[in-house]
Amino acid sequence: MEKITPQVAQEVNKLRSYFPSEITVFVQRSKDGGFCAQITTFPGCFTEAETLSELVENVNDAIITYFEIPEKYIELMPPYCPPTELAKKMGIYPNFGAAETLKLILDNCESNRG
């Protein structure tokens, strides 16, 4: 990571401004047990994963890609985190065909990125 100069800070703030405080993600359990997601906040933005935690990671990666965030600034971008109710609804018991539209909230707390 390069030194945080005023110019770098300005660029990071500009990039972070692209991230709305909340996004909507349509999540569906697939027949093979994995998950697929359409990030409806951003047209044409889709991802998939085997586990729910991997799906959240992939959603964040898809958004980074959608906004073409330079690699050197990725670690400075805020991640989206799902509400705990989602794991109860989608992760514990297979319910093929179950679908859910959810909102992920922007995590602006620097201390959460240990």
Euclidean distance between CA atoms 78 and 22, whole angstroms: 11
The pLDDT, as a whole number, for residue 101 is 82
The pLDDT, as a whole number, for residue 63 is 97
The pLDDT, as a whole number, for residue 105 is 86
The pLDDT, as a whole number, for residue 92 is 41
The pLDDT, as a whole number, for residue 87 is 56
Selected from 3.30.750, 3.40.50, 3.30.160, 3.30.420, the CATH number assigned to the domain covering 6-104 reads: 3.30.160
Q: Which residue has the tokens 């705990």?
A: 84
Give 23-40 as a DSSP string: EEEEEEE-TTS-EEEEET
| Global pTM value | 0.72
Radius of gyration of the chain (CA): 15
Mean pLDDT by 10 residues, the chain (114 residues): 82 95 91 91 95 90 96 93 67 57 79 52
